[in-house]
Chain A
Amino acid sequence: AQRVTQPEKLLSVFKGAPVELKCNYSYSGSPELFWYVQYSRQRLQLLLRHISRESIKGFTADLNKGETSFHLKKPFAQEEDSAMYYCALITGGTSYGKLTFGQGTILTVHP
């Protein structure tokens, strides 16, 4: 069965420090992975997906099939990055497939 694991429930860093939010997955098929973010009092929104290989708000994530990981990284954290981050895996196809979410990581960036 598919599973997404985010081992850190809480992560605290200081402004300007590098940050890495860990995500590991378990899936027998070809994975398509996403990071979603929920800022305080805002709705959950898509941050980035592995297929696009783009950097959004300074964040990047690389799919490592050998380690079955999709860690989210940013070299210099900002206070406005404080939010809940979810890693998600789509199964059953990219159309009408099912998103399976990890447990979420609450990132706090201190001034």
Chain B
Amino acid sequence: DTAVSQTPKYLVTQMGNDKSIKCEQNLGHDTMYWYKQDSKKFLKIMFSYNNKELIINETVPNRFSPKSPDKAHLNLHINSLELGDSAVYFCASSLSGSPDTQYFGPGTRLTVL
């Protein structure tokens, strides 16, 4: 059973397009996250949701919009993709925001051409 799954695993698209990445967890966690890992492997939090409510919103362009339809899902929609958006995006979940229980997804490698 996959605990935190992301789709797609790879995404190649043109500049200016709009794309979405989906994340689902079946751990019963109430908190979910999106992280971005850039080409230098630097890992930075983007958003965090608890029970569908936004609790962390880092300085991210408003082209990025997270959506949490329920506490088991946190999707990331990106408008007007730019070259600099190319990265690996990791979803994660945890119980009550505790990093001890934080479980990461396998990542989605986004390439913008």
A43, A99, A104: the one contacting B99 at CB < 8 Å is A99
Report A86-111 residues with CB < 8 Å from chain B CB: 86, 88, 90, 94-101, 103-104, 106
Cα distance, A90 to B41, chains bound together (Å): 19
B31, B104, B105: most-surrounded residue (chain A CB, <10 A): B104
How extensive is the interface on chain B, given as a class? 20 to 34
- Which A residues are CB-close (under 8 A) to B44? 101
A-B contact sample (12 more), CB < 8 A, given A96-B48, A98-B58, A101-B42: A43-B4, A43-B103, A43-B105, A43-B106, A44-B92, A49-B99, A49-B100, A90-B99, A95-B96, A96-B97, A99-B99, A104-B43
Q: Using a CB–CB distance below 8 Å, which chain B residues touch chain A?
A: 4, 31, 40-45, 48, 50, 55-56, 58, 90, 92, 96-100, 102-107
The 18 sampled A-B contact pairs (Cβ below 8 Å) are A43-B4, A44-B92, A45-B103, A45-B104, A49-B99, A49-B100, A94-B97, A96-B31, A96-B50, A96-B55, A96-B56, A96-B96, A98-B45, A98-B58, A101-B44, A103-B40, A103-B41, A103-B42
